[in-house]
Amino acid sequence: MEKLEQLKEEAMQAIENAQSLSELQQQRVHYLGKKGPIQDVMKMMKDLSAEERPAFGAQVNEIKKAVSDAIEAKRGELEVKEMNLRLEKEKIDITLEGYKPVIGNIHPLTLVQQELEDLFIGQGYTVAEGPEVELDFYNFERANIPQGHPARDMQDTFYIDHERLLRTHTTAIQTRQLELHAPHPIKVICPGKVYRRDDDDATHSHQFTQMEGLVVAEGIQLSDLKGTLEFMAKKMFGESRVIRFRPSYFQFTEPSVEVDVSCHVCNGKGCPVCKGTGWIEILGAGMVHPNVLEMAGYDSTKMSGFAFGVGVERVAMLKYGIDDIRHFYTNDVRFLKMFKRFD
Ligand code: PHE
């Protein structure tokens, strides 16, 4: 009996001292396994008298249970301890900076085009588009520029064959729109890419972007055009801008005008941007030529209209102080990133 007590003390101590789950497991195998000291003590049963045996047996069972309970309790304690150790070891340092994906931004030409579209849509215009590979018919014939007309020289372009070419102006969209809507009123803006046979330099490009506007209805006058363009100039270059008309010539408008806007840099006093004149030329415009209206199916004695065509690059260059048109097309990210509105 004494030996049993001693054994229990020893087992309890060993369990208490276990530092890890694997150490605890070793103690379990040792004390509760087939070849452990408790089994050895059991073997002494046969030397005892019949009266002594039940008490001895009960004592052994009690020790086994006490040892087993102690092991379970210790296991719980060690599990928590080892889990905490693992969590400590596997801690992720979330303060480390990650990789930022590169997010693009809207191209400055698109930005200006959208801005122009927004202000005209706000005035009740709809946006119309057309093909870049265009028929000679819509690009020239319907714009009152027949075969052999000298004006064709100024708008030489890339020809696909005798009938098809890369359109030289978005006026081609307008002649299509006129045909589509005649004899009814129309109010559209026509943005798009256009092409010319040109030598590229800081202010010329063989491909560029235009946005034209066209309004046809009963009683449309030159004053309507002036009001519309002044509104656009103020929206694009500031509320204090004014515009002026100078006589000009286009085959598809009569009368035709060049439109200048007062310089937004010097406010009209004269500076390098406006070449000392106080005015900057921004677009061509005029009253739609009766021939153009008639060819499309309008009665030019009842209906009249105005049209204007603005270069999107030109507006963007003035607005953002860009000195070379080629920046728009070479896709240098240092240039493009300057038009990022947020990070
Ligand atoms: N189509 C002309 C150009 O490309 C611009 C323009 C449009 C002029 C409409 C008058 C009216 O130069």
Q: CATH number for the domain including 277?
A: 3.30.930.10
Co-location of 136 and 268 in the same domain = yes
Task: Please say which residue of 89, 123, 144 terminates a domain.
Answer: 89
Distance of CA 198 from the midpoint of ligand 1 (Å): 17
Co-location of 306 and 277 in the same domain = yes
Task: Label residue 224 exposed, middle or buried (CB < 10 Å: 0-12, 13-18, 19+).
Answer: middle
**Residues enclosing ligand 1, CB less than 6 A?**
169, 171, 212, 250, 253, 284-286, 307-309
Co-location of 118 and 163 in the same domain = yes
- Alpha helix segments (H runs only) across 165-277: 171-181, 222-237
User: Is position 99 within any domain?
Assistant: no
Distance of CA 225 from the midpoint of ligand 1 (Å): 14
Tally the domains of the chain.
2
Helix 108-121 crosses helix 222-237 at what angle (to 10 degrees)?
130
Which atom of ligand 1 is the closest one to the Cα of 285?
10
User: Is position 139 within any domain?
Assistant: yes
Co-location of 40 and 120 in the same domain = no
Distance of CA 251 from the midpoint of ligand 1 (Å): 9
Co-location of 20 and 163 in the same domain = no
Distance of CA 299 from the midpoint of ligand 1 (Å): 22
User: Is position 269 within any domain?
Assistant: yes
The pLDDT score that the predictor gives to residue 343 is: 59
Expressed as residue numbers, the domain containing 66 is 2-89
Co-location of 32 and 81 in the same domain = yes
Q: What is the pTM of this model?
A: 0.71
d(CA 243, CA 246): 10
Co-location of 69 and 180 in the same domain = no
Co-location of 74 and 182 in the same domain = no
Co-location of 245 and 319 in the same domain = yes
Mean pLDDT by 10 residues, the chain (343 residues): 84 89 89 84 81 84 89 91 90 82 91 96 97 97 94 91 96 97 97 94 93 98 97 93 95 96 91 90 96 97 97 93 93 92 69
Q: CA triplet 323, 115, 219: central angle to 5 degrees?
A: 110
Co-location of 150 and 22 in the same domain = no
Co-location of 215 and 256 in the same domain = yes
User: Is position 95 within any domain?
Assistant: no
